[in-house]
Amino acid sequence: MSTTHKYHTFSNPTNLSKAQLWLIATSAMLTELNNEFHDTLLPHHIYGTEELIKDSKRCLLRDWDIKDLEGLSDTLNYLHTEQTFAPIQESWELLSDNEFNQTHKAPIGVEFRNLLNMVYDYQYDLKQSDYAWHYGRCAWIIRHCLFDGFITEAEAWNLLEENGKRIKDMFDSWENFGLSYLVGAQYWKRKEYTEISIKDHKNIITYLLTNKNSPWLNVGWDDFE
């Protein structure tokens, strides 16, 4: 949505609790991509405008078919239940190195070859698959539905908490959460995957794990139970 990047100082201007900041931090990947605030419930803090609301509504309708609470409910249900990379892992990760090597001689398409390469690269080391790609987008969508007036603040916190519990049950660190999100980005680009195709996502995860204004460095993984 945003095109010019700028970094926001992490200052918690609305005095949110650590647990609330943690819930917001689960949206950090898309929040950073769109130059939004990491430390306020509203993605644009007090700087929201009618044009930004229109832009947000266009985005939710175009990408998620969300225009009201019903659309949000359907989207969250889809993202919470949809499996993308996980079934591919389960089907192919038991192949031996020799069997993986044999696939390179097979006449298979680019998309399937990219998926097999992903399975090989993450073999046995990614039990959380790409679920962060789904759950992280849920958190961002919830914040924007509040911004667009589709839900109340109380509803937003309740939905973020429900989504956050799913995240906490599956992951044990921001690092693992970030890796899973990157795998989701790679899966999303599976038809034309290259290192460059997910460069922006890699840069964002690096920022989130290293920059002093990152929510992941200002909020501990155990700040939400």
Which sequence spans correspond to the domains of the chain? 23-223
Worst-scoring range by mean pLDDT, 19-23, 115-119, 217-221? 115-119
Q: What gap in Å lies between CA 127 and CA 90, rounded to an integer?
A: 10
What secondary structure does DSSP assign to 129-179, as a single string?
A: TTHHHHHHHHHHHHHHHHHTTSS-HHHHHHHHHHHHHHHHHH-SSHHHHHH
Q: What gap in Å lies between CA 29 and CA 25, rounded to an integer?
A: 8
Does residue 3 have a pLDDT over 60?
no
- Under the banding of pLDDT at 50, 70 and 90, the label for residue 111 is confident
Note the pTM of the prediction, 2 decimals: 0.88
Number of helices (H) and strands (E) in the chain: give both, helices first.
12, 0
Contacts of residue 109, Cβ cutoff 8 Å, sequence gap at least 6: none
What are the percentages of helix, strand and coil residues in the chain, rounded to 5? 60, 0, 40
Average pLDDT score, the chain:
90
The pLDDT value recorded for residue 76 is 98
Burial of 4 (0-12, 13-18, 19+ CB in 10 A): exposed
Contacts of residue 41, Cβ cutoff 8 Å, sequence gap at least 6: 14, 16, 20, 24, 143, 146, 153, 156, 157
- Under the banding of pLDDT at 50, 70 and 90, the label for residue 127 is confident
The pLDDT value recorded for residue 124 is 63
Contacts of residue 129, Cβ cutoff 8 Å, sequence gap at least 6: 83, 84, 85, 86, 89, 180, 183
Residue of 52, 31, 20 lying closest to 137 (CA atoms): 31
Q: What gap in Å lies between CA 88 and CA 115, rounded to an integer?
A: 8
The pLDDT value recorded for residue 2 is 46
